[in-house]
Amino acid sequence: MFTVANASQEKPVLKRLHAAAIALLIASAALAGAKGEAFLDALRKNAVVETDVMVPMRDGVKLATDLARPKGEGKFPVILMRTPYRKNLGPAGMAVAAGYAFATQDVRGRFNSEGDHRPFLDDPNDAFDTIAWLAKQPWCDGHVGMMGGSYVGFTQLAAAMTKPPALRCILPGVPPSDFDNRVAFYGGALRQELVQGWLIGQAWSSQRVQRKQAPADEVAKWRPHHFMAWCWHLPLSEPGPLTVGGPGYANYWLDGVRNWEKPGLWRDISPIQRAEDIQVPTLITAGFYDIFAQENLELLLALRARGGSDAARTHSHILIGPWAHGIGVPEGDTTFLSATRALGGIQEKWFARWLKNQPNEADKWPPIRAYVMGQDRWLDTDTWPPAQSKPTKLYLAKGKLAPEPPKQDEAPSAFTYDPAKPVPTLGGNNLSIAKAMHDHRKNAQRPDVLAFYSEPLERDVAVVGTMRARLFVSSSAPDTDFTAMLLDVRPDGYQGNIQDGIVRCRYREGRGKPKLLKPGEIVEVEIDLWSTAYVFEKGNRIALHVSSSNFPRFDRNLNVPDHPSAWTKLQTAENKVHHGPAHPSFIELSVLQ
Protein backbone atom coordinates (compact mmCIF):
# COMPACT_ATOMS: atom_id res chain seq x y z
CA MET A 1 0.00 0.00 0.00
CA PHE A 2 1.47 3.34 -1.03
CA THR A 3 -0.38 6.59 -1.65
CA VAL A 4 0.47 10.28 -1.52
CA ALA A 5 -1.96 13.04 -0.64
CA ASN A 6 -1.41 16.79 -0.93
CA ALA A 7 -1.72 18.42 2.49
CA SER A 8 -3.25 21.55 1.01
CA GLN A 9 -6.10 19.37 -0.29
CA GLU A 10 -6.98 17.95 3.14
CA LYS A 11 -10.68 18.33 3.94
CA PRO A 12 -11.26 21.49 6.01
CA VAL A 13 -11.95 20.87 9.67
CA LEU A 14 -13.63 22.97 12.29
CA LYS A 15 -11.23 25.23 14.11
CA ARG A 16 -12.62 23.87 17.36
CA LEU A 17 -11.55 20.33 16.53
CA HIS A 18 -8.19 21.45 15.18
CA ALA A 19 -7.36 23.38 18.33
CA ALA A 20 -8.57 20.53 20.50
CA ALA A 21 -6.44 17.96 18.73
CA ILE A 22 -3.30 20.01 19.26
CA ALA A 23 -4.15 20.84 22.85
CA LEU A 24 -4.88 17.26 23.79
CA LEU A 25 -1.84 15.70 22.18
CA ILE A 26 1.03 17.82 23.50
CA ALA A 27 2.53 17.33 26.95
CA SER A 28 0.05 18.29 29.61
CA ALA A 29 2.23 21.06 31.01
CA ALA A 30 0.73 23.25 28.31
CA LEU A 31 -2.70 22.67 29.80
CA ALA A 32 -1.82 23.80 33.30
CA GLY A 33 -3.42 27.20 32.76
CA ALA A 34 -6.86 25.59 32.65
CA LYS A 35 -7.38 25.52 36.41
CA GLY A 36 -8.71 27.60 39.24
CA GLU A 37 -12.15 28.16 40.64
CA ALA A 38 -13.38 30.29 37.72
CA PHE A 39 -12.62 27.49 35.30
CA LEU A 40 -14.20 24.87 37.56
CA ASP A 41 -17.32 26.98 38.01
CA ALA A 42 -17.73 27.19 34.25
CA LEU A 43 -17.14 23.46 33.90
CA ARG A 44 -19.73 22.68 36.58
CA LYS A 45 -22.49 24.22 34.45
CA ASN A 46 -22.44 21.11 32.26
CA ALA A 47 -20.58 18.55 34.34
CA VAL A 48 -20.40 16.87 37.70
CA VAL A 49 -16.91 17.73 38.95
CA GLU A 50 -14.88 16.13 41.74
CA THR A 51 -11.33 17.17 42.59
CA ASP A 52 -8.58 15.40 44.51
CA VAL A 53 -10.40 12.09 44.76
CA MET A 54 -7.82 9.80 46.34
CA VAL A 55 -7.79 6.56 44.35
CA PRO A 56 -6.24 3.60 46.24
CA MET A 57 -3.46 1.51 44.70
CA ARG A 58 -2.73 -2.13 45.55
CA ASP A 59 -0.03 -1.14 48.08
CA GLY A 60 -2.25 1.37 49.91
CA VAL A 61 -0.80 4.50 48.29
CA LYS A 62 -3.52 6.90 47.09
CA LEU A 63 -3.28 8.95 43.92
CA ALA A 64 -5.00 12.32 43.54
CA THR A 65 -7.51 12.29 40.70
CA ASP A 66 -9.86 14.94 39.26
CA LEU A 67 -13.08 13.78 37.61
CA ALA A 68 -15.72 15.35 35.37
CA ARG A 69 -18.73 13.67 33.80
CA PRO A 70 -21.94 14.72 32.06
CA LYS A 71 -24.80 15.70 34.34
CA GLY A 72 -27.80 13.44 34.59
CA GLU A 73 -28.33 9.73 34.77
CA GLY A 74 -26.41 7.31 32.64
CA LYS A 75 -23.09 5.55 32.20
CA PHE A 76 -20.28 7.00 30.13
CA PRO A 77 -16.97 5.88 28.64
CA VAL A 78 -14.00 7.48 30.37
CA ILE A 79 -10.96 9.26 28.93
CA LEU A 80 -7.99 9.16 31.32
CA MET A 81 -4.77 11.19 31.51
CA ARG A 82 -2.04 10.32 34.03
CA THR A 83 0.65 12.99 34.36
CA PRO A 84 3.72 14.02 36.38
CA TYR A 85 3.20 17.65 35.33
CA ARG A 86 0.20 18.48 37.59
CA LYS A 87 -3.25 17.16 36.80
CA ASN A 88 -5.88 19.52 35.43
CA LEU A 89 -9.29 19.33 33.85
CA GLY A 90 -8.39 21.44 30.82
CA PRO A 91 -9.71 18.94 28.21
CA ALA A 92 -12.74 17.96 30.31
CA GLY A 93 -15.20 20.46 28.83
CA MET A 94 -14.83 19.13 25.33
CA ALA A 95 -14.84 15.52 26.53
CA VAL A 96 -18.03 16.02 28.53
CA ALA A 97 -19.71 17.80 25.61
CA ALA A 98 -18.97 14.76 23.45
CA GLY A 99 -20.50 12.38 25.98
CA TYR A 100 -17.41 11.16 27.84
CA ALA A 101 -16.37 11.27 31.44
CA PHE A 102 -12.87 12.63 31.96
CA ALA A 103 -10.27 11.71 34.59
CA THR A 104 -6.86 13.25 35.21
CA GLN A 105 -4.41 12.02 37.81
CA ASP A 106 -1.09 13.04 39.38
CA VAL A 107 1.24 10.06 39.10
CA ARG A 108 2.73 8.58 42.24
CA GLY A 109 4.80 11.01 44.30
CA ARG A 110 3.92 14.08 42.22
CA PHE A 111 1.92 17.11 43.37
CA ASN A 112 -1.15 15.90 45.31
CA SER A 113 -0.55 12.14 45.07
CA GLU A 114 0.98 10.02 47.80
CA GLY A 115 4.07 7.83 47.54
CA ASP A 116 7.59 8.25 46.21
CA HIS A 117 8.14 9.27 42.62
CA ARG A 118 10.24 6.82 40.62
CA PRO A 119 9.85 8.04 37.03
CA PHE A 120 8.21 5.45 34.79
CA LEU A 121 8.82 2.46 37.07
CA ASP A 122 5.52 2.45 39.00
CA ASP A 123 3.26 3.52 36.16
CA PRO A 124 2.29 0.08 34.83
CA ASN A 125 0.75 -1.16 38.09
CA ASP A 126 -0.68 2.23 39.05
CA ALA A 127 -2.33 2.63 35.66
CA PHE A 128 -3.88 -0.85 35.91
CA ASP A 129 -5.29 -0.09 39.38
CA THR A 130 -6.63 3.30 38.30
CA ILE A 131 -8.42 1.87 35.28
CA ALA A 132 -9.91 -0.91 37.40
CA TRP A 133 -11.18 1.69 39.88
CA LEU A 134 -12.72 3.82 37.11
CA ALA A 135 -14.45 0.81 35.55
CA LYS A 136 -16.20 0.08 38.87
CA GLN A 137 -17.71 3.54 39.24
CA PRO A 138 -21.51 3.62 38.81
CA TRP A 139 -21.24 6.33 36.12
CA CYS A 140 -18.71 4.37 33.97
CA ASP A 141 -19.95 2.06 31.21
CA GLY A 142 -16.84 -0.11 31.55
CA HIS A 143 -14.94 1.41 28.63
CA VAL A 144 -11.77 3.43 29.26
CA GLY A 145 -9.46 5.16 26.77
CA MET A 146 -6.31 7.16 27.39
CA MET A 147 -4.62 10.16 25.77
CA GLY A 148 -1.80 12.69 26.20
CA GLY A 149 1.78 13.32 25.15
CA SER A 150 5.37 12.63 26.22
CA TYR A 151 5.44 11.08 29.72
CA VAL A 152 1.63 11.15 29.57
CA GLY A 153 1.93 9.12 26.38
CA PHE A 154 4.13 6.57 28.13
CA THR A 155 1.58 6.10 30.93
CA GLN A 156 -0.81 4.79 28.29
CA LEU A 157 1.67 2.25 26.97
CA ALA A 158 2.48 1.29 30.55
CA ALA A 159 -1.22 0.66 31.15
CA ALA A 160 -1.64 -1.33 27.93
CA MET A 161 1.25 -3.64 28.83
CA THR A 162 -0.66 -4.73 31.97
CA LYS A 163 -3.80 -5.59 29.96
CA PRO A 164 -6.54 -3.90 32.03
CA PRO A 165 -9.88 -5.48 31.02
CA ALA A 166 -11.61 -2.09 30.70
CA LEU A 167 -8.95 -0.43 28.52
CA ARG A 168 -10.25 -0.14 24.96
CA CYS A 169 -7.74 2.14 23.17
CA ILE A 170 -4.86 4.54 23.66
CA LEU A 171 -3.73 7.69 21.85
CA PRO A 172 -0.12 8.36 22.90
CA GLY A 173 1.64 11.44 21.52
CA VAL A 174 5.45 11.43 21.21
CA PRO A 175 5.84 8.71 23.89
CA PRO A 176 9.16 7.33 25.15
CA SER A 177 8.97 3.67 24.23
CA ASP A 178 12.44 2.07 24.16
CA PHE A 179 14.15 2.77 27.49
CA ASP A 180 16.66 0.00 26.93
CA ASN A 181 18.12 1.30 23.67
CA ARG A 182 17.06 4.85 22.78
CA VAL A 183 15.54 6.98 25.53
CA ALA A 184 18.64 7.54 27.68
CA PHE A 185 21.51 6.30 25.50
CA TYR A 186 22.10 6.72 21.78
CA GLY A 187 25.04 5.04 20.07
CA GLY A 188 26.47 4.41 23.53
CA ALA A 189 26.50 8.11 24.47
CA LEU A 190 24.23 9.68 27.08
CA ARG A 191 21.47 11.94 25.75
CA GLN A 192 22.51 14.49 28.33
CA GLU A 193 20.19 17.44 27.73
CA LEU A 194 17.19 15.13 27.51
CA VAL A 195 17.86 12.90 30.51
CA GLN A 196 19.72 15.17 32.90
CA GLY A 197 17.86 18.31 31.87
CA TRP A 198 14.44 16.72 32.23
CA LEU A 199 15.25 15.09 35.55
CA ILE A 200 16.55 18.37 37.01
CA GLY A 201 13.27 19.99 35.98
CA GLN A 202 11.37 17.21 37.73
CA ALA A 203 13.44 17.60 40.88
CA TRP A 204 12.78 21.32 41.04
CA SER A 205 9.02 20.75 40.74
CA SER A 206 9.10 17.91 43.29
CA GLN A 207 6.87 17.70 46.33
CA ARG A 208 9.88 18.52 48.49
CA VAL A 209 10.28 21.85 46.69
CA GLN A 210 6.54 22.54 46.28
CA ARG A 211 5.93 22.01 49.99
CA LYS A 212 9.02 24.05 50.96
CA GLN A 213 10.57 21.07 52.73
CA ALA A 214 13.99 21.66 51.16
CA PRO A 215 16.13 23.88 53.43
CA ALA A 216 16.48 27.45 52.17
CA ASP A 217 20.29 27.25 52.10
CA GLU A 218 20.13 24.08 49.99
CA VAL A 219 17.77 25.73 47.50
CA ALA A 220 19.97 28.83 47.37
CA LYS A 221 23.06 26.70 46.80
CA TRP A 222 21.68 24.89 43.77
CA ARG A 223 19.36 27.51 42.25
CA PRO A 224 22.07 28.85 39.86
CA HIS A 225 22.95 25.31 38.77
CA HIS A 226 20.07 24.33 36.56
CA PHE A 227 20.91 22.26 33.54
CA MET A 228 22.77 24.68 31.24
CA ALA A 229 25.25 25.50 34.01
CA TRP A 230 25.42 22.03 35.56
CA CYS A 231 25.87 20.08 32.30
CA TRP A 232 29.60 20.95 32.28
CA HIS A 233 30.15 19.44 35.72
CA LEU A 234 32.20 16.28 36.17
CA PRO A 235 31.90 13.51 37.13
CA LEU A 236 28.46 12.72 35.75
CA SER A 237 27.81 10.49 38.77
CA GLU A 238 27.40 13.54 41.03
CA PRO A 239 23.68 14.43 41.13
CA GLY A 240 24.18 18.09 42.08
CA PRO A 241 20.89 20.06 41.80
CA LEU A 242 18.91 16.81 41.66
CA THR A 243 19.37 16.53 45.43
CA VAL A 244 16.86 19.36 45.91
CA GLY A 245 14.11 16.95 44.86
CA GLY A 246 15.11 14.46 47.54
CA PRO A 247 17.07 11.20 47.53
CA GLY A 248 14.70 9.49 45.09
CA TYR A 249 15.64 11.83 42.24
CA ALA A 250 19.36 11.63 42.97
CA ASN A 251 19.30 7.84 43.26
CA TYR A 252 17.33 7.49 40.04
CA TRP A 253 20.06 9.42 38.21
CA LEU A 254 22.84 7.43 39.84
CA ASP A 255 21.22 4.12 38.95
CA GLY A 256 21.04 5.21 35.32
CA VAL A 257 24.62 6.38 34.79
CA ARG A 258 26.20 3.62 36.86
CA ASN A 259 24.37 0.98 34.80
CA TRP A 260 25.64 2.46 31.53
CA GLU A 261 27.02 -0.90 30.41
CA LYS A 262 24.04 -3.02 31.48
CA PRO A 263 21.43 -3.03 28.70
CA GLY A 264 18.34 -5.03 29.54
CA LEU A 265 17.62 -3.42 32.91
CA TRP A 266 14.74 -1.38 31.50
CA ARG A 267 13.08 -4.09 29.43
CA ASP A 268 10.05 -4.29 31.71
CA ILE A 269 9.07 -0.68 30.95
CA SER A 270 10.05 -0.74 27.24
CA PRO A 271 6.87 -1.12 25.14
CA ILE A 272 8.84 -1.95 21.99
CA GLN A 273 10.27 -5.02 23.67
CA ARG A 274 6.89 -5.92 25.13
CA ALA A 275 4.70 -5.36 22.07
CA GLU A 276 3.18 -8.81 22.59
CA ASP A 277 1.59 -7.54 25.81
CA ILE A 278 -0.23 -4.63 24.14
CA GLN A 279 -3.68 -5.73 22.99
CA VAL A 280 -5.58 -2.48 22.33
CA PRO A 281 -5.78 -0.25 19.23
CA THR A 282 -3.02 2.36 19.41
CA LEU A 283 -2.75 5.67 17.55
CA ILE A 284 0.69 7.27 17.88
CA THR A 285 1.33 10.89 16.94
CA ALA A 286 4.99 11.73 16.37
CA GLY A 287 7.42 14.18 14.78
CA PHE A 288 10.55 13.67 12.70
CA TYR A 289 12.37 16.24 14.87
CA ASP A 290 11.01 14.79 18.10
CA ILE A 291 13.23 13.29 20.79
CA PHE A 292 11.50 9.90 20.38
CA ALA A 293 10.99 9.93 16.60
CA GLN A 294 12.70 6.68 15.64
CA GLU A 295 11.46 4.63 18.54
CA ASN A 296 7.90 5.76 17.79
CA LEU A 297 8.23 4.40 14.25
CA GLU A 298 9.75 1.19 15.58
CA LEU A 299 6.96 0.87 18.14
CA LEU A 300 4.37 1.04 15.36
CA LEU A 301 6.19 -1.66 13.38
CA ALA A 302 6.47 -3.82 16.51
CA LEU A 303 2.74 -3.49 17.25
CA ARG A 304 1.82 -4.31 13.66
CA ALA A 305 4.07 -7.39 13.69
CA ARG A 306 3.87 -8.60 17.30
CA GLY A 307 0.90 -6.92 18.96
CA GLY A 308 -0.89 -9.13 21.47
CA SER A 309 -4.24 -9.19 19.65
CA ASP A 310 -5.70 -8.87 16.19
CA ALA A 311 -7.02 -5.45 17.19
CA ALA A 312 -3.51 -4.24 18.10
CA ARG A 313 -1.94 -5.67 14.96
CA THR A 314 -4.66 -4.35 12.64
CA HIS A 315 -5.58 -1.06 14.28
CA SER A 316 -2.27 0.45 15.34
CA HIS A 317 -1.25 3.57 13.43
CA ILE A 318 1.27 6.40 13.46
CA LEU A 319 0.90 9.91 12.12
CA ILE A 320 4.37 11.48 11.95
CA GLY A 321 4.84 15.08 10.89
CA PRO A 322 7.55 17.76 10.67
CA TRP A 323 7.38 18.57 14.36
CA ALA A 324 9.62 18.57 17.40
CA HIS A 325 8.31 17.56 20.85
CA GLY A 326 5.24 19.81 20.74
CA ILE A 327 2.97 18.12 18.21
CA GLY A 328 1.60 20.70 15.79
CA VAL A 329 3.80 23.48 17.19
CA PRO A 330 6.28 25.07 14.72
CA GLU A 331 9.94 24.84 15.76
CA GLY A 332 13.23 25.90 14.19
CA ASP A 333 13.83 27.92 11.03
CA THR A 334 11.52 25.97 8.72
CA THR A 335 7.83 25.53 9.47
CA PHE A 336 5.13 23.52 7.75
CA LEU A 337 1.91 25.02 9.05
CA SER A 338 -0.36 23.12 6.65
CA ALA A 339 0.77 19.84 8.22
CA THR A 340 -1.24 20.56 11.35
CA ARG A 341 -4.47 20.11 9.40
CA ALA A 342 -3.97 16.37 9.63
CA LEU A 343 -4.47 16.58 13.41
CA GLY A 344 -7.96 17.96 13.07
CA GLY A 345 -10.60 15.69 14.57
CA ILE A 346 -8.41 12.61 14.90
CA GLN A 347 -8.98 12.16 18.63
CA GLU A 348 -12.74 12.65 18.16
CA LYS A 349 -12.88 9.90 15.51
CA TRP A 350 -10.54 7.62 17.46
CA PHE A 351 -12.52 7.66 20.69
CA ALA A 352 -15.88 7.46 18.89
CA ARG A 353 -14.66 4.33 17.13
CA TRP A 354 -13.18 2.50 20.11
CA LEU A 355 -15.05 3.84 23.15
CA LYS A 356 -18.49 4.16 21.55
CA ASN A 357 -18.16 1.43 18.91
CA GLN A 358 -19.12 3.83 16.10
CA PRO A 359 -17.49 2.69 12.84
CA ASN A 360 -15.87 5.57 10.97
CA GLU A 361 -12.85 6.38 8.81
CA ALA A 362 -10.51 5.29 11.61
CA ASP A 363 -11.12 1.74 10.40
CA LYS A 364 -9.37 2.62 7.14
CA TRP A 365 -6.43 4.65 8.38
CA PRO A 366 -3.07 3.45 7.01
CA PRO A 367 -0.47 1.99 9.35
CA ILE A 368 1.91 4.91 8.67
CA ARG A 369 1.09 8.42 7.52
CA ALA A 370 4.20 10.58 7.08
CA TYR A 371 4.48 14.22 6.06
CA VAL A 372 7.05 14.83 3.32
CA MET A 373 8.81 18.09 4.12
CA GLY A 374 9.38 20.16 1.01
CA GLN A 375 6.46 18.71 -0.94
CA ASP A 376 3.60 19.61 1.41
CA ARG A 377 2.33 16.05 1.01
CA TRP A 378 1.29 13.15 3.21
CA LEU A 379 2.57 9.72 2.28
CA ASP A 380 0.59 6.64 3.37
CA THR A 381 2.45 3.35 3.60
CA ASP A 382 2.37 0.05 5.47
CA THR A 383 6.16 -0.38 5.57
CA TRP A 384 9.07 1.76 6.81
CA PRO A 385 11.04 2.64 4.86
CA PRO A 386 8.34 2.65 2.16
CA ALA A 387 8.77 -0.08 -0.42
CA GLN A 388 9.46 2.58 -3.08
CA SER A 389 12.41 3.99 -1.11
CA LYS A 390 15.72 2.46 -2.13
CA PRO A 391 18.97 2.48 -0.14
CA THR A 392 21.32 4.96 -1.84
CA LYS A 393 24.94 5.46 -0.83
CA LEU A 394 27.02 8.62 -1.04
CA TYR A 395 30.72 7.98 -0.44
CA LEU A 396 33.09 10.26 1.41
CA ALA A 397 36.12 11.73 -0.32
CA LYS A 398 38.20 14.81 0.45
CA GLY A 399 35.46 17.33 1.24
CA LYS A 400 33.04 15.59 -1.12
CA LEU A 401 30.09 13.19 -1.23
CA ALA A 402 29.87 11.15 -4.43
CA PRO A 403 27.84 8.19 -5.79
CA GLU A 404 31.05 6.13 -6.12
CA PRO A 405 33.97 5.68 -3.69
CA PRO A 406 37.31 7.28 -4.56
CA LYS A 407 39.25 5.15 -7.05
CA GLN A 408 42.56 5.77 -5.36
CA ASP A 409 43.64 5.81 -1.75
CA GLU A 410 43.48 9.23 -0.12
CA ALA A 411 44.99 10.70 2.98
CA PRO A 412 42.40 10.52 5.77
CA SER A 413 40.43 13.58 6.86
CA ALA A 414 41.74 14.51 10.29
CA PHE A 415 40.94 16.87 13.15
CA THR A 416 41.80 17.45 16.79
CA TYR A 417 38.97 16.88 19.25
CA ASP A 418 39.24 18.80 22.52
CA PRO A 419 36.44 17.92 24.99
CA ALA A 420 37.06 21.25 26.74
CA LYS A 421 35.82 22.97 23.57
CA PRO A 422 33.06 20.72 22.22
CA VAL A 423 31.02 21.42 19.11
CA PRO A 424 27.87 23.18 20.39
CA THR A 425 24.39 21.82 19.73
CA LEU A 426 22.58 24.24 17.39
CA GLY A 427 19.43 22.24 16.68
CA GLY A 428 18.02 18.77 16.19
CA ASN A 429 15.92 16.25 18.11
CA ASN A 430 16.16 17.98 21.48
CA LEU A 431 13.84 18.69 24.40
CA SER A 432 14.97 21.83 26.21
CA ILE A 433 17.57 23.39 23.89
CA ALA A 434 17.41 24.47 20.22
CA LYS A 435 15.02 22.17 18.35
CA ALA A 436 14.46 21.15 14.73
CA MET A 437 16.26 22.84 11.83
CA HIS A 438 18.78 25.64 12.34
CA ASP A 439 21.66 27.06 10.30
CA HIS A 440 24.91 25.16 10.93
CA ARG A 441 27.30 27.32 8.89
CA LYS A 442 29.00 28.44 12.09
CA ASN A 443 29.84 24.86 13.09
CA ALA A 444 30.95 24.00 9.55
CA GLN A 445 33.72 26.58 9.88
CA ARG A 446 35.22 24.94 12.97
CA PRO A 447 38.51 23.08 12.52
CA ASP A 448 37.10 20.08 14.43
CA VAL A 449 34.18 19.61 12.02
CA LEU A 450 34.76 17.73 8.75
CA ALA A 451 32.34 18.84 6.05
CA PHE A 452 31.56 16.73 2.95
CA TYR A 453 29.36 18.10 0.14
CA SER A 454 27.63 16.63 -2.89
CA GLU A 455 27.53 18.44 -6.21
CA PRO A 456 24.46 20.68 -6.70
CA LEU A 457 21.50 18.37 -7.31
CA GLU A 458 20.20 18.06 -10.86
CA ARG A 459 16.72 17.17 -9.63
CA ASP A 460 14.70 17.08 -6.43
CA VAL A 461 15.72 14.18 -4.20
CA ALA A 462 13.13 12.87 -1.71
CA VAL A 463 14.70 11.03 1.22
CA VAL A 464 11.97 9.03 2.96
CA GLY A 465 12.96 6.36 5.47
CA THR A 466 15.89 5.33 7.62
CA MET A 467 19.46 6.61 7.25
CA ARG A 468 22.90 5.65 8.50
CA ALA A 469 26.56 6.57 8.22
CA ARG A 470 29.19 3.84 7.91
CA LEU A 471 32.65 5.22 8.65
CA PHE A 472 36.19 3.89 8.88
CA VAL A 473 37.81 5.80 11.73
CA SER A 474 40.86 5.87 13.96
CA SER A 475 42.00 7.81 16.99
CA SER A 476 45.05 8.47 19.12
CA ALA A 477 42.88 7.92 22.22
CA PRO A 478 41.64 4.68 23.82
CA ASP A 479 38.08 5.93 23.41
CA THR A 480 36.39 8.78 21.57
CA ASP A 481 33.11 9.62 19.85
CA PHE A 482 32.25 10.22 16.22
CA THR A 483 29.20 12.25 15.28
CA ALA A 484 27.48 12.52 11.91
CA MET A 485 24.93 15.09 10.76
CA LEU A 486 22.99 15.15 7.48
CA LEU A 487 22.31 18.66 6.18
CA ASP A 488 20.59 20.48 3.33
CA VAL A 489 22.83 23.20 1.86
CA ARG A 490 20.97 25.89 -0.06
CA PRO A 491 22.45 28.11 -2.79
CA ASP A 492 22.59 31.05 -0.37
CA GLY A 493 24.86 29.02 1.94
CA TYR A 494 22.31 28.09 4.61
CA GLN A 495 23.10 24.65 6.08
CA GLY A 496 20.01 23.14 7.73
CA ASN A 497 20.26 19.99 9.83
CA ILE A 498 18.03 17.06 8.85
CA GLN A 499 19.15 14.36 11.31
CA ASP A 500 22.24 13.51 13.32
CA GLY A 501 23.69 10.71 15.41
CA ILE A 502 26.68 9.52 17.39
CA VAL A 503 28.71 6.44 18.22
CA ARG A 504 30.91 5.97 21.27
CA CYS A 505 33.78 3.89 19.97
CA ARG A 506 34.13 1.67 23.04
CA TYR A 507 30.47 0.68 22.55
CA ARG A 508 30.65 0.15 18.79
CA GLU A 509 29.55 -3.46 19.39
CA GLY A 510 26.95 -2.52 22.01
CA ARG A 511 26.83 -0.99 25.50
CA GLY A 512 27.16 -4.42 27.03
CA LYS A 513 30.38 -5.14 25.10
CA PRO A 514 32.85 -2.32 25.77
CA LYS A 515 35.98 -2.54 23.64
CA LEU A 516 38.61 0.18 23.79
CA LEU A 517 40.52 1.40 20.76
CA LYS A 518 44.16 0.80 20.01
CA PRO A 519 45.95 4.03 19.05
CA GLY A 520 45.89 4.40 15.27
CA GLU A 521 43.79 1.26 14.75
CA ILE A 522 41.23 1.66 11.94
CA VAL A 523 37.78 0.39 12.92
CA GLU A 524 34.46 0.46 11.15
CA VAL A 525 31.59 2.13 13.00
CA GLU A 526 27.94 2.69 12.17
CA ILE A 527 25.99 5.78 13.18
CA ASP A 528 22.21 5.52 13.22
CA LEU A 529 20.70 8.69 11.70
CA TRP A 530 17.11 7.73 12.46
CA SER A 531 14.50 8.64 9.81
CA THR A 532 13.17 11.55 7.83
CA ALA A 533 10.80 12.43 5.01
CA TYR A 534 12.50 15.39 3.39
CA VAL A 535 13.03 16.73 -0.13
CA PHE A 536 16.41 18.17 -1.14
CA GLU A 537 15.50 20.62 -3.86
CA LYS A 538 17.18 20.89 -7.25
CA GLY A 539 20.25 23.11 -6.99
CA ASN A 540 20.82 22.36 -3.30
CA ARG A 541 23.61 20.15 -2.02
CA ILE A 542 23.53 17.24 0.41
CA ALA A 543 26.11 17.62 3.17
CA LEU A 544 27.54 15.50 5.97
CA HIS A 545 29.29 16.95 9.00
CA VAL A 546 31.54 14.60 10.96
CA SER A 547 33.06 15.48 14.32
CA SER A 548 33.43 14.04 17.83
CA SER A 549 30.97 16.08 19.89
CA ASN A 550 27.50 17.62 19.83
CA PHE A 551 27.15 19.12 23.29
CA PRO A 552 25.01 19.18 25.37
CA ARG A 553 22.77 17.02 23.19
CA PHE A 554 25.21 14.23 24.06
CA ASP A 555 27.67 14.02 26.93
CA ARG A 556 31.29 14.75 26.11
CA ASN A 557 33.71 11.88 25.61
CA LEU A 558 36.88 12.77 27.53
CA ASN A 559 38.96 10.36 25.42
CA VAL A 560 40.01 8.27 28.44
CA PRO A 561 39.51 4.57 29.33
CA ASP A 562 37.59 5.01 32.63
CA HIS A 563 33.86 4.35 33.05
CA PRO A 564 31.93 7.33 31.58
CA SER A 565 30.13 8.04 34.86
CA ALA A 566 33.49 8.56 36.60
CA TRP A 567 35.24 10.75 34.01
CA THR A 568 36.94 13.85 35.45
CA LYS A 569 40.24 14.28 33.59
CA LEU A 570 40.17 15.00 29.89
CA GLN A 571 42.65 14.77 27.05
CA THR A 572 42.60 15.75 23.40
CA ALA A 573 42.37 13.16 20.63
CA GLU A 574 43.69 13.16 17.08
CA ASN A 575 40.80 11.64 15.15
CA LYS A 576 40.64 10.56 11.52
CA VAL A 577 38.02 9.48 9.00
CA HIS A 578 39.41 7.21 6.28
CA HIS A 579 38.06 7.05 2.73
CA GLY A 580 39.18 5.32 -0.44
CA PRO A 581 38.96 1.87 -2.07
CA ALA A 582 40.20 0.08 1.07
CA HIS A 583 38.05 2.14 3.45
CA PRO A 584 34.83 3.14 1.65
CA SER A 585 33.15 5.37 4.23
CA PHE A 586 29.62 6.32 3.17
CA ILE A 587 26.26 7.68 4.18
CA GLU A 588 23.20 5.65 3.16
CA LEU A 589 19.86 7.36 2.52
CA SER A 590 16.43 5.94 1.69
CA VAL A 591 15.66 7.72 -1.60
CA LEU A 592 12.08 7.64 -2.83
CA GLN A 593 11.94 6.49 -6.42
Task: Tell me the catalytic residues.
Answer: 150, 290, 325
Which candidate, 210, 208, 59, 203, places its Cα nearest to that of 122?
59
Between strands 573-578 and 377-381, the pairing is unpaired
DSSP letter, residue 92: H
Distance between CA atoms of 193 and 325, rounded to whole angstroms? 14
Cα-based angle 139, 140, 141 (whole degrees, multiple of 5): 120
Q: Please report, for residues 61, 159, 187, 454, 537, the alpha-carbon distance to residue 532 in angstroms, rounded to integers and kept in the order given.
A: 43, 29, 18, 19, 15
Going 258 to 260 to 263 to 269, the CA torsion angle's sign is: positive
Phi, psi of 239 (to 5 degrees): -75, -25
**DSSP letters spanning 178-191:** -IIIIISEETTEE-
- CB-based contacts of 542: which residues, under 8 Å, 6+ apart? 394, 401, 453, 454, 457, 461, 486, 487, 488, 489, 536, 589
Phi, psi of 501 (to 5 degrees): -160, -175
Computed on alpha carbons and rounded to an integer, the radius of gyration of the chain in Å comes to 24
Distance between CA atoms of 380 and 317, rounded to whole angstroms? 11
Name the H helices within 226-316: 227-230, 247-258, 293-306, 310-314
CB 280 within 8 A of CB 167: yes
Between strands 461-475 and 586-592, the pairing is antiparallel
Contacts within 8 Å (CB) and 24+ apart, 261-268: 261/507, 261/511, 261/512, 261/514, 261/563, 262/511, 262/512, 263/180, 263/181, 263/510, 263/511, 263/512, 264/180, 264/512, 265/180, 266/179, 266/180, 266/183, 267/180, 268/124
CB 377 within 8 A of CB 4: yes
